[in-house]
Amino acid sequence: MEKPKAVLFDAYGTLFDVYSVGLLAEQLFPGHGDALGVLWRDKQIEYTHLVTASNDGAHYQPFWELTRAALRYACKRLALDLTPGHEERLMNQYNHLSAFPENKEVLAALKAKRVTTGILSNGDPEMLAVAVRSAGLEGLLDHVLSVDAVRKYKTHPDVYALGTQATGLDARQIAFVSCNSWDALAATWYGYRTLWVNRYQLPFEELGTQPTRTGSSLRDVLAFF
């Protein structure tokens, strides 16, 4: 099969570790850091699906606002006293998530092969700009694509269409990389060639479709080449 001409990466969970907020959460709420990190993330994704499915995105809110709402819900669910100061510290931490260590190496290897690279993410443009800058990835990405352009979230097909529109390529000419199994599945349904990065040794979705490839780190995208 022809080698992909572009590689698009999910951001949150794939390039940036969404669970790294658990370290600060544990400092603020001893004994509850991991639980808060997991519930916060789960509720954040649930909210993106909810606002997209309701009236075809009529209830869209920016990812930053959904992230804040999910944090508030998670703290209430866990009976944690989220003060305004704690909220701002945790939100600021989310804006500066830890990057996975292989990011630069993999992106540099793709650029050396003259492959178009980019991000296709639920994140707001401002959030993505901060994350990319903090990780030192500015010169390694040709595109940083946000769902804000269509005011819908993954897994809506209008989101995945942003990649084909930006690159001018057919979906089968693009490899899409995500650590989130639901994202890898929907991108496969859309027509992308996909890599599911299974960092946490989880089962894939049981809906009859498998990703093109499965790996354990971003380095596995290089197997396409």
Secondary structure (3-state) at 144? strand
| Residue appearing with tokens 């929907």 | 186
The answer to whether residues 109 and 93 touch, using CB atoms and an 8 Å cutoff, is: no
The answer to whether residues 5 and 174 touch, using CB atoms and an 8 Å cutoff, is: yes
Alpha helices, H only, the chain:
21-28, 33-53, 63-77, 84-94, 103-112, 125-135, 157-167, 181-190
Q: What is the pLDDT of residues 67-119, one digit of tens each?
A: 999 999 999 999 999 999 999 999 999 888 889 999 999 999 999 999 999 99
DSSP 115-126: -EEEEEESS-HH
- Domains of the chain with CATH codes: 6-16+98-224 (3.40.50.1000), 18-94 (1.10.150.240)
Q: What is the pLDDT of residues 186-205, one digit of tens each?
A: 999 999 999 999 999 999 99
What's the DSSP call for residue 96?
A: T
49-71: string of b/e by CB count within 10 Å (b at 16+)? eebbeeeebeebebbeebbbebb
The answer to whether residues 147 and 45 touch, using CB atoms and an 8 Å cutoff, is: no
pLDDT for 56 beyond 80: no
Catalytic residue numbers, as ranges: 10
pTM of the model: 0.93
Q: Which residue has the higher pLDDT, 10 or 96?
A: 10
- The pLDDT-based confidence of 54 (bands split at 50, 70, 90) is confident
